[in-house]
């Protein structure tokens, strides 16, 4: 199956635009009304940035508007997705997990098998092609767990662009392997020591860089967040996940899944798989926010469950903030979900009720990670494990007649160290505890500043 | 009807000079310490005060202002303290603006913030991450309370955008001298003069230049082509250095007074005799 033929609704494209990964189902859905011309998803989204960046955002919006209907651009992107990133990624029947859970049939969309080990490559290839199209020579990016940074460094190496990745100092220490990977790929990794030294501060630093370098530099944002047009752009580049998965599930089972489940930090893997299903109102969409130590403890990253609408990083959305509008530091064992906001289109999906959002805490995610490893032989990223944890509950609620699709957004190699500590699998630590409880508590505490 | 800010800028112009606008963040080193520093600044010749509202994610600020803002927030500063600071500074008679990222206003309540700022004697706001496209609620609230909403333009702004920003701005147009974040630099951006000329072509409002101005010589240079000179990081640096050296508040205040006096000479076209930056 080629990437192009993986677009099932292309022929049903109501707008009559060229069939492509970028336009296919979206135009047929009528959901293309979001964002509106000014970049709003209902009351969310928009552009809250300094005037210095407005010209660049206008330029990017215009360049993308042309690229998305340009056959040459689409062909180049489709080719890279297929021949370089390894798309389409497979759909796996999780037979032993399904049997173990004893509920709905569980299907996995295997973004962990995409090049660089997660869905991040989809967006990055699109943005880096746009960068070249705009005649810019330098790319900057933020990264939390390092997956977006690795994907950006990879695409820049492939296309011969300079790459600088901003990463919170805490994360550079804990995700040292990914720092080394980025440097191997020729990127400069800048540890960020301001503020809370986490992902949100890496974004702050990238924005500071961009204001000063915008003439020759593109800021390759890694999720469906930030000022317009980024939430739209990243969604469009990620929706290939859902376009493929929808066709694959139909082919495999003869019908649509009852439920689609994905983890949500900024929310790009979730938006990518949700978006083509939005018109299928019989399909329930469930996003999983990181609950950290539990929403009640205040140490979590669940912007919808524990936050309120506000403005951060150029967008209006749900945020963790205090009563004065100061951003609160998020907490999660998963560096990739450890962000105090969420993409504005998720905020809209939540408000309209088209998607629902559940909270999965550290412990539940790690238990799911272990279960999936033993039943399916797949070591998933801790981020993705949040989706599995919720999906297991939902599969039981649904019963065996139903089908459930999980976005397995990334592989867990980067998390082996964290998981080994959590489960007490290392020989060395003096505080090793056979039950894993002491090690688990220590890890959760030590991992607080992500 | 001209606002207090309009009057002060007109008075400076009548003296044949640019106005001096000084920025310090509320709450650093303490709420009262910051108030004393701002009052010292006014006593030494600053015409207009910008009270910074420290914010957790100051994406438009360089390391100097970030450091002071972080410390203020760690000290427990709230928007209420900022309003108290405005009240104490406005008492000097200097028009007092709050420089803030947008979210603290939104969370305070847009109408409530305008009412509270006006009640504290504030003259207006500078909101660098609030573009004209998102500004309608604030413009309405500011107008209802007689506040001047100051907006920022940049060297990258098209003529159309300059017009759009100037149309909604009150008091003066804030022209960013360069593409970048706040912070003193060895030279004033070469784009500053051209930007001021482009702004003057679309509005009769005064134009003040900020970003990268920190010495009397730079103030004099900018004063030659702009109606206002905005200095922030260089002043904040004086407070940070005093703190770092463990000096008492009187030394910090003397330093603020000396730099502000020097800058005040600068906007009057005089060159500094004393080296001012640490």
The pLDDT tens digits of the residues spanning A45-76 come to 999 999 999 999 999 999 999 999 999 999 99
pLDDT band at A2 (very low <50, low <70, confident <90, very high): very low
pLDDT band at A114 (very low <50, low <70, confident <90, very high): very high
- From the list B105, B108, B157, the residue facing A51 with the nearest CB is B157
Summarize the confidence of residues A71-88 as an average pLDDT: 95
pLDDT per residue as tens digits for the range B99-154:
999 999 999 999 999 999 999 999 999 999 999 999 999 999 999 999 999 999 99
Q: How confident is the model at residue A33, as a pLDDT?
A: 73
Residue A192 pairs with which residues in a beta bridge?
A168
pLDDT per residue as tens digits for the range A244-254:
999 999 999 99
pLDDT per residue as tens digits for the range A170-216:
889 878 889 999 999 999 999 999 888 889 999 999 999 999 999 99
pLDDT at A4 over 80: no
How many angstroms away from the CA of B227 is the closest CA of chain A? 20
Exactly one of A20, A111, A118, A142 is catalytic; which is it?
A142
Exactly one of B50, B148, B227, B262 is catalytic; which is it?
B50
State whether A324 and B156 contact (CB < 8 Å): no
Average pLDDT of chain B? 94
CB contact, 8 Å: A194 with chain B?
yes
Burial B112-146 (b: 16+ CB within 10 A, else e): ebbebbbebbbbbbbbbbbbbebbeebbebbeebe
* Domains and their CATH numbers in chain A: 36-85+120-235 (3.40.50.1100), 91-116+239-449 (3.40.50.1100)
Q: How confident is the model at residue B275, as a pLDDT?
A: 43
Task: Kindly list the distances between the CA atom of residue B235 and the CA atoms of A202, B25, B36, B244, in Å, as whole numbers in the listed order.
Answer: 27, 10, 13, 15
pLDDT per residue as tens digits for the range A338-353:
999 999 999 999 999 9
| CB contact residues (below 8 A), chain A span 64-103, against chain B | none
Instruction: Find the helix packing angle between B233-244 and B63-74, rounded to 10°.
Output: 60
pLDDT at B56 over 80: yes
Contacts of B111-119 spanning 24+ positions with Cβ under 8 A: B111/B141, B111/B144, B113/B79, B113/B141, B114/B138, B114/B141, B114/B142, B114/B144, B114/B145, B114/B147, B115/B141, B115/B145, B116/B83, B117/B83, B117/B86, B117/B145, B117/B147, B118/B145, B118/B146, B118/B147
Instruction: Tell me which of B207 and A9 has the higher pLDDT.
Output: B207
**ipTM beyond 0.90?**
yes
Decide if B50 is catalytic.
yes
Instruction: Tell me which of B172 and A175 has the higher pLDDT.
Output: B172
User: Got the DSSP string for B108-176?
Assistant: H-HHHHHHHHHHTT--EEE-TT--GGG-HHHHHHHHHTT-EEE-EE-TT--HHHHHHHHHH--S-EEEE
pLDDT per residue as tens digits for the range A234-278:
999 999 999 999 999 999 999 999 999 999 999 999 999 999 999
* Domains and their CATH numbers in chain B: 4-267 (3.20.20.70)
10 Å Cβ neighbour count for A192? Answer: 25
């Amino acid at each position: 199956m080629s990437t192009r033929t993986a677009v099932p609704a292309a022929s049903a494209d109501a707008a009559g635009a060229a069939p492509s990964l970028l336009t296919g189902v979206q135009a047929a859905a009528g959901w293309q009304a979001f964002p509106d011309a000014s970049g709003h998803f209902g009351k969310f989204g928009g552009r809250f940035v300094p005037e210095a960046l407005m010209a660049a955002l206008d330029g990017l919006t215009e360049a993308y508007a042309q690229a998305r209907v340009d056959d040459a651009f689409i062909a180049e992107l489709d080719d890279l997705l297929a021949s370089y990133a390894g798309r389409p990624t497979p759909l796996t029947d999780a037979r032993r997990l399904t049997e173990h859970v004893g509920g709905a049939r569980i299907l996995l969309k295997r973004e962990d098998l995409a090049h660089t080990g997660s869905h991040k490559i989809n967006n990055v290839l699109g943005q880096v092609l746009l960068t070249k199209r705009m005649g810019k020579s330098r790319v900057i990016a933020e990264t939390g767990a390092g997956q977006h940074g690795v994907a950006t460094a990879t695409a820049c190496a492939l296309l011969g662009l300079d790459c600088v990745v901003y990463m919170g100092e805490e994360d550079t220490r804990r995700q040292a392997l990914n720092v080394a990977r980025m440097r191997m790929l020729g990127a400069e990794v800048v540890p960020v020591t301001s503020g809370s030294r986490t992902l949100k501060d890496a974004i702050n630093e990238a924005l500071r860089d961009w204001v000063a370098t915008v003439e020759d530099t593109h800021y390759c944002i890694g999720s469906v967040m930030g000022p317009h047009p980024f939430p739209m752009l990243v969604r469009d580049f990620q929706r290939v996940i859902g376009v493929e998965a929808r066709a694959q599930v139909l082919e495999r089972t003869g019908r649509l899944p009852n439920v689609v489940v994905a983890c949500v930090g900024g929310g790009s893997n979730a938006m990518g798989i949700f978006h083509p299903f939005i018109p299928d109102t019989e399909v329930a969409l469930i996003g999983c926010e990181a609950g950290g130590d539990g929403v009640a403890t205040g140490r979590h990253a669940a912007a919808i469950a524990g936050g309120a609408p506000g403005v951060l990083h150029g967008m209006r959305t749900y945020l963790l903030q205090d009563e004065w509008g100061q951003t609160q530091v998020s907490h999660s064992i998963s560096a990739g979900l450890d962000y105090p906001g969420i993409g504005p289109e998720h905020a809209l999906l939540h408000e309209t009720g088209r998607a629902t959002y559940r909270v999965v805490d550290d412990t539940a995610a790690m238990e799911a990670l272990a279960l999936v490893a033993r039943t399916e032989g797949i070591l998933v990223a801790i981020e993705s494990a949040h989706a599995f944890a919720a999906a297991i509950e939902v599969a039981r609620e649904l019963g065996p007649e139903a089908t459930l699709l999980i976005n397995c957004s990334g592989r867990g190699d980067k998390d082996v160290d964290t998981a080994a500590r959590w489960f007490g699998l290392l020989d060395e630590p003096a505080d090793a505890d056979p039950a894993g409880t002491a090690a688990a508590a220590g890890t959760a505490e030590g991992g607080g500043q992500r | 009807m001209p606002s207090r800010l309009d009057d002060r800028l007109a008075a400076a112009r009548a003296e044949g000079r640019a106005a001096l606008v000084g920025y310090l963040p509320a709450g650093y080193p303490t709420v009262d310490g910051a108030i004393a520093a701002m009052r010292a600044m006014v006593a030494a010749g600053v015409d207009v005060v910008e009270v910074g509202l420290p914010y957790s994610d100051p994406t438009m600020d360089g390391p100097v202002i970030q450091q002071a803002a972080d410390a203020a927030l760690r000290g427990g500063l709230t928007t209420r303290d900022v309003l108290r600071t405005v009240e104490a500074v406005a008492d000097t008679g200097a028009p007092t603006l709050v420089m803030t990222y947008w979210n603290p206003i939104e969370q305070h309540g847009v109408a409530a913030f305008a009412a509270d700022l006006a009640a504290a004697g504030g003259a207006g706001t500078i909101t660098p991450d609030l573009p004209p496209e998102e500004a309608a609620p604030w413009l309405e609230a500011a107008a209802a309370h007689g506040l001047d909403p100051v907006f920022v333009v940049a060297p990258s702004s098209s003529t159309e955008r300059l017009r759009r920003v100037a149309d909604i701005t009150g008091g003066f147009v804030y022209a960013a001298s360069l593409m970048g974040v706040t912070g003193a630099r060895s030279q004033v951006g070469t784009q500053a003069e051209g930007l001021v000329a482009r702004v003057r072509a679309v509005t009769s409002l005064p134009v003040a230049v900020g970003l990268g101005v920190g010495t009397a010589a730079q103030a004099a240079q900018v004063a030659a082509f702009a109606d206002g000179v905005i200095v922030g990081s260089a002043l904040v640096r004086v407070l940070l250095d005093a703190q770092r050296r463990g000096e008492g508040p009187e030394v910090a205040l003397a330093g603020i007074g000396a730099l502000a006096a020097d800058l005040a000479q600068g906007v009057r076209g005089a060159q500094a005799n004393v080296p001012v930056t640490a």
